[in-house]
Amino acid sequence: MLTGSWDYTTRLWDAATGAELASFAHFRSVMSVAYAPDGRAVLTGSQNGLAYRWPLDREFWPILPYTPTPRPNTLAIIIGNQNYTAGPPQVPFAQNDARAFERFFIDVMGLDQNNVWTRPNLGLVGFQSLFGDARRPLGQIHRFEEFYDELFVVYIGHGAPDINDGDASPVLLPTDSTGLRGTYAMNDLYESLARLDVENVTLVLDACFSGQTNAGPVLPHTMGFSVVSSPRPPRNIAVLTATDTETLQYAHWLEDVGHSAFSYHLLQGLYGAADEVGNQDGSVTLAEAHAYSRRAVALDILQRFGREQFPAISPDITDTTLISFKTDDARPVFPPIQTVPE
């Protein structure tokens, strides 16, 4: 609280305790007081007709609301596959995760909402139209590449090993896939993203490829299989996955917070927690996001279920900065979305 007095003094008070925090002496009575627009100085007007500006010590500066720095040249694509129509079980909180990533890209990273493409319950034709495939290698995103220099792709849904190709290569499951028919190969996605003339590409896969889920096997004939031959992503693509793709781990969801374990802890890290336990330089790098989510997920799943889940990163990229925070701003807060799964 700020006061001006006939005793020639302006005082700053702690409104909760009544303690005086600072005082500013004048030559005449103080007639008016105010804070500077940024809250880092006191403005006063004295009976002698003069106005004064008094800088405040940093400890008295207000914590400004978080405001993101606009990133007009960044595109984010979010796929939340929750409602499977033929065979695979539902992914209970995929839509919650998708909405949470959408809010992160807009509210924290500073993307325009037109540059955040959310695709709920994407079927095979949707995958092919968006990314292309082996027969038609160019998709919708390739028509927009000249307008962007950074791309994020987030997939939340089922993955599985394709046991019919001899190598059990990883595939993503569109919501209308029937068994292992109508799947979308990870190799096709990698090749599609590698064709883009975009400086930075980050792929987040909240999926596992073991053929298992919290609720049992993704498909009956994938039970007990794991990916044998996992294609390596091109060097210009950073991939964060919910599990180690070469073991029988599977991705878990957390009913009490309404999110999958990987999306929940990764978003916590991206909202700033990864920097707080990292080097505390005001930014979150890929390496920090991975290290934070790997430890948080592994510990959470071990404590809750007595199982293993270790998020992975490929390739081993360490210096790519995902987000930077202004030193004096408040950090954004990740708001979990708690809903009943559809």
More confident residue, 65 or 224: 65
For range 188-210, the mean pLDDT: 92
AA letter at 282: G
> Is residue 239 pLDDT above 70, yes or no?
yes
Q: What is the pLDDT of residue 341?
A: 47
> How far apart are alpha carbons 184 and 86 in whole angstroms?
15
Closest C-alpha among 190, 166, 193 to residue 180: 166
> Is residue 337 pLDDT above 70, yes or no?
no
Q: Could you tell me the CA-to-CA distances from 48 to 12, 51, 105 in Å, in that order?
A: 21, 9, 52
Tokens, residue 186: 């990870």
AA letter at 104: F
Q: Residue 112 carries which DSSP code? A: -
Q: Could you tell me the CA-to-CA distances from 148 to 66, 74, 76, 143, 201 in Å, in that order?
A: 25, 6, 10, 11, 11
Does the pTM of the predicted model rise above 0.95? no
Mean pLDDT of the chain, nearest integer? 87
Q: What is the pLDDT of residue 127?
A: 97
Closest C-alpha among 14, 53, 20, 58 to residue 35: 53
Q: What is the pLDDT of residue 52?
A: 96
C-alpha 40: how far from chain center = 32
For range 232-260, the mean pLDDT: 84
Q: Residue 106 carries which DSSP code? A: I
What length does the chain have?
A: 342
More confident residue, 156 or 177: 156
> Is residue 113 pLDDT above 50, yes or no?
yes
Which range in 163-167, 172-176, 208-212, 334-338 is most confidently predicted, on average pLDDT? 172-176
Q: Could you tell me the CA-to-CA distances from 205 to 23, 159, 262 in Å, in that order?
A: 56, 9, 9
Cα dihedral sign for 224, 298, 253, 171? negative
For Cα atoms 195, 238, 231, give the angle at the middle one, nearest 5 degrees: 70
- Domain residue limits, the chain: 2-60, 74-324
Confidence of residue 336 (pLDDT cuts 50, 70, 90): low
- Does residue 315 have a cis peptide bond before it, meaning omega lies within 30 degrees of 0? yes
Q: What is the pLDDT of residue 328?
A: 65
Strands 200-206 and 116-120: unpaired
Tokens, residue 250: 């599977």
Which range in 48-57, 223-232, 246-255 is most confidently predicted, on average pLDDT? 48-57
Backbone angles phi, psi at 130, to 5 degrees: -75, -45
pLDDT (tens digit per residue) in 119-141 = 999 999 999 999 998 889 899 99
Backbone angles phi, psi at 5, to 5 degrees: -135, 160
Q: What is the pLDDT of residue 334?
A: 84
**Tokens 């510990």 found at:** 299
**Tokens 């336990």 found at:** 277
Tokens, residue 273: 């927690």
147: helix, strand or coil: helix
**Ramachandran category for residue 158: left, alpha or beta (phi over 0 → left; psi -120 to 50 → alpha):** beta
**Tokens 């008016």 found at:** 32
Q: What is the pLDDT of residue 72?
A: 96
Strands 184-185 and 169-172: antiparallel
Which segments within 262-311 are labelled E, that is strand? 283-285
**Which CATH number is associated with domain 74-324?**
3.40.50.1460
